[in-house]
Amino acid sequence: MADVQYIIKDAAGNTYGPTDLATLKQWIHDHRVTPHMQVAVRGSNAYRPATAVEELREAFATSPYAHLYGLAQPASPAVEPAGRRPFEPQPLHNMATGAATTPYQAPAAPAPGQWQQQPQDPISYAATPRTQSGLAVASMILGICSIAMLLGCPYITPILSLVGVVLGHSAKAQIRRDPDRYTGDGMATAGLVMSYITLALAVLAIIAIIMVLFIAAAAGPSSP
């Protein structure tokens, strides 16, 4: 499934991606993704440990850092011949004189505390930022305008309310379809609530006007 995209979550709760399977395996090989992180398919919140994903087990097992994860044993160091110190060079014999000569000197042992582990740079990931849904923003703005127009220009309130309802539902569908890219579900909900309220008030006002006109027509002109 080459089109499957994955989201990675670290121990701090930060999410990275989306990325495809090949790139994710390369990140594992580069020690950018570790077994302590969690992975989920894009569009799903079902996060699992990275080692629990079947497609990634082989990548962890063949990683150069597999022995750090407890998935492989490190290679055994070479055994020095008996009677030789570490780093002691093998003597070479001069073919002309037969004398043994040493082509280079063994490096001096470091002083205590001389070797210090250098701090590693923190791993950086290119996270995809989430953007505000424009449909949600438009729905909330139309909901506010429909309330304002209900008092000033009530005859256009139903139009604004209907458009706000359509945009609000479209925004919610967009966010559900791609939650890793869009935000603004609360704004869409607010726009829907305001649009539905003003639409209901406008419908009630229209019904009241029709009833008043009907009663007035039924009463007829008054006689002297």
Lowest mean pLDDT among 58-67, 97-106, 132-141: 97-106
3-state secondary structure string, the chain? Answer: CCCCCEEEECCCCCEEEEECHHHHHHHHHCCCCCCCCEEEECCCCCCEEHHHCHHHHHHHHCCCCHHHCCCCCCCCCCCCCCCCCCCCCCCEECCCCCCEECCCCCCCCCCCCCCCCCCCCCCCCCECCCEECHHHHHHHHHHHHHHHHHHHCHHHHHHHHHHHHHHHHHHHHHHHHCCCCEECHHHHHHHHHHHHHHHHHHHHHHHHHHHHHHHHHHHCCCCC
Residue 224 has what pLDDT? 47
| Mean pLDDT of the region 121-147 | 77
pLDDT mean over 134-156: 84
Predicted confidence (pLDDT) at residue 99 exceeds the cutoff of 60: no
Res. 199: pLDDT tops 70:
yes
Neighbours of 68 (CB within 10 A): 13
**pLDDT for 80:** 46
Residue 43's Cα: distance from chain center in Å? 10
Whether the pLDDT of residue 8 is over 50: the answer is yes
Average pLDDT rounded to a whole number, residues 42-51: 85
Percentage of the chain with pLDDT > 90? 12
User: Residues 172-196: pLDDT tens digits?
Assistant: 999 888 888 889 899 889 989 999 9
**pLDDT (average), residues 137-149:** 88
Using pLDDT thresholds of 50, 70 and 90, give the confidence band for residue 85: very low
- Can you list the domains of the chain with their CATH numbers? 6-68 (3.30.1490.40), 131-219 (no CATH)
Question: What is the pLDDT averaged over residues 156-179?
Answer: 89
pTM of the model: 0.41
Mean pLDDT of all residues in 51-78: 74
Question: Virtual CA dihedral for 30, 32, 36, 40, nearest 10 degrees?
Answer: -110
- At residue 32, the pLDDT reads 86
